[in-house]
A and B are shown apart, each in its own frame.
Chain A
Amino acid sequence: MPYLSLVIWVPVLGGIVVLAADRLRVRWLDIRWLALGFSILTFALSIPLYTSFDVTTPTMQFVEKVPWIAAYDVNYYLGVDGISMPLIILTSFMTVIVIIACWKIIQYKLAQYLAAFLIMAGLMNGTFASLNAVLFYLFWEAMLIPMFLIIGIWGGPRRIYAALKFFLYTFLGSVLMLVVFIWLYLKTGSFDILGFYNLHLGLVPQMLIFFGLFAAFAVKVPMVPVHTWLPDAHVEAPTGGSVILAAILLKMGAYGFLRFNLPIAPDASMKLEWFMIALSLIAIIYIGLVAMMQKDMKKLVAYSSIAHMGFVTLGFFVIFMIWQNTGSLGAATLTVEGSLVQMISHGLISGGLFLCVGVLYDRMHTHEMAQFGGVVKPMPKYGYFFLAFMMANSGLPLTSGFVGEFMVILGSFQANFWVSVLTAVALITACSYSLYLIKQVVFGKVKSDRVAALKDISPREVLILALVFLPVLLIGFYPQIILRVMHPTVTHLLSQVVPAALGGGAG
């Protein structure tokens, strides 16, 4: 079965069907159930990607290749490896969650809302599965449209500002990426991404390529200083939009670094490692401090996301230093795998946190911390969940939040003592802002009559929070479950990238 095509086109088709059903006013059919059915089907179709995955080989699997525009060697070329496959499962999973999450909340243009998320899921899966640069670019840009609409239509009061900021930021970056792809096409005569890996370019073109791609990916991650669109986008986005934005869209940037920057421009990556490491550390420490000062829950979680993504980019670009310091790729593999686990983990945890914030927003229509206090009194079950997610966010062991941070900190020590010291500062900042929020919102005296009158979470809300928290625990107790699929791919990737950077006479 062409699973990859299915996980791309089934949700897109689902979106169209939902829109059609709404337009045709099919009375007997609740479009929410229809959308849920399609999202569950997508998730079910993504499961075989894991269960049938061959963990002994680093090559692309579930490959589908059909000529599309033969004149320019543009192919409908799909495939996954240990890096992209877990992300596809995460995307499909989170889509189910956001559809359940909007159940009674979204009244305005419900069908369009559901369709946007379904189509979005297909496009995101497509981005992760594409092995052709044109296809990748199409999915990448198409993804902007539903997200732009989600923020712009169902967002908060400043939604237009936020949506435009989001769109302009990401679009400007992507245009440079397109230029890079065209240049690479002219060099290789093909848009085959894997073919780009075999180009052994000089340092100057590599630098240009690096920065062209950097513009696209750094904005998405987001890295300091191009991160300011994220807090605005999150604050204005509806809950589901925030969840997908944090859980999946941010991962696109990190994925891009690993899929394009490192293999295509290894020398440049090595030359610029200080730059990337510095930006990552700034994200971890500086953003951690900024997060502590936030008064809006969504902003706090957004800043926390930036800090956590700092771990990911750090883990990717510290590999050259590790090689130079230890003479082996062992610890470099550790950090890259740690970063990948961090991506998955952050997807789940930040998704869970935005769901938690959304639960309060649905009841009080604000995410300002000062409006809350003592929420656990009227909402004990909710209090547990929020606390659990926040603890996971601060990297508590036996949750997935610990795994990636632990591996990156341990690995970065092998590069440089001070890098690991600065990275470990996150232990302090993360728990400070996470628990500060909990103290202000969940604990303390009941702030007002409105808080006292809050209703605890409904079975539906319990279901979505529990569904997201279970994998957090699972990965915390047994990360090997995802590490095993990543290992061959990462090992192979590093064995290509690092010697190329060191041996390549680009100097």
Chain B
Amino acid sequence: MSELHRYFDGRTARPRKVLLAIGPTGVAIRDEDGAPLASWPYSHLRVADQNAVSGAYVLRLEPDQAARLEVGAGADLETLLTQRPELKRWRARERSGLAKGFAKWGAVGVAVCLALYFGWTRASILIASWIPASWEERIGQQVENAWFPERERCSGAGGLRALEALGKRISPGEEVKLFVVKERDPNAFAMPGRRIVVFSGLIDRARSPEMLAGVIAHEMGHVEYHHPMRGLVHQMGLGAVLTLIFGDSSLAGVGQLALVLSYSRDMEREADQRGIELLQQAGIRADGMSAFFEIIKKDVEKNILHDLPEFLSTHPDLDARIAATRQPATGAPAMSDADWQLVRKVCDSK
């Protein structure tokens, strides 16, 4: 056998003319004078490429050290392929390797996404707790100005005073800014920077001041647990990842998305519980919360309301939440009748 092949040792670019000895366990590479240059065992032998024109096989070693052996079409190649027929199927093997690689990376990708999604909930709690109160205050101010500008807020002085007093009774330790806007939906939000906004539709739909107190106590729960900031950070992170995957890199878009405040089921449950506790500590009749949830539930069932308001937005376990917040009808009223009438007219002066 005196077929000559080309060998690159991976150190210089010189192609060496080599003789091959194709044995049972590997290929011995010798120079033209028969001096051994390298010995490649089959266990580490791979096909790097195949010359599209000459049909020569380009072989390499695993792990790849850049050395290449080009075995031209001929008797040696025949012998090698008889000895190791799997080399012929290198493209198919490469494809299956690719599929495996893709599957592996796909699994890594899914794992990273899951870790991000679940880990992110925890991370966002941590990040939210790092944000200084003064920053949060300014964020709250911006959200407030953007969504509920001063001129849209209700200004009935007596009603606002009564609401403020109710807020103080429910949560004496927190400096919370409470305001009312004229909107038909029975809705209320907690916003960053210790702000609670109540829609006039909520006051209209509440049959007693205790029902209103129930919803306010629930929002106070959100405020105490820092939920608005947590939700904001959480949304921002998901938004950032989504914009990146879908190829839009404008930070502004991420910011817009982040303003959609929404809470997880756990957060709602926490707020319910804390709300009830606050009402009990204040000695206020605590059966208003579940009673009001029930009203809203019926409204939705009767199609009077199309969507659940923010504070009830975790639809599937609504019944569970009503059951969990059910309280005896004992305790002091939330406010006097006179105050309640003022609260009901808080938006009339607009």
Q: Are A and B bound to each other? A: no
B residues contacting A by CB (< 8 A) are none
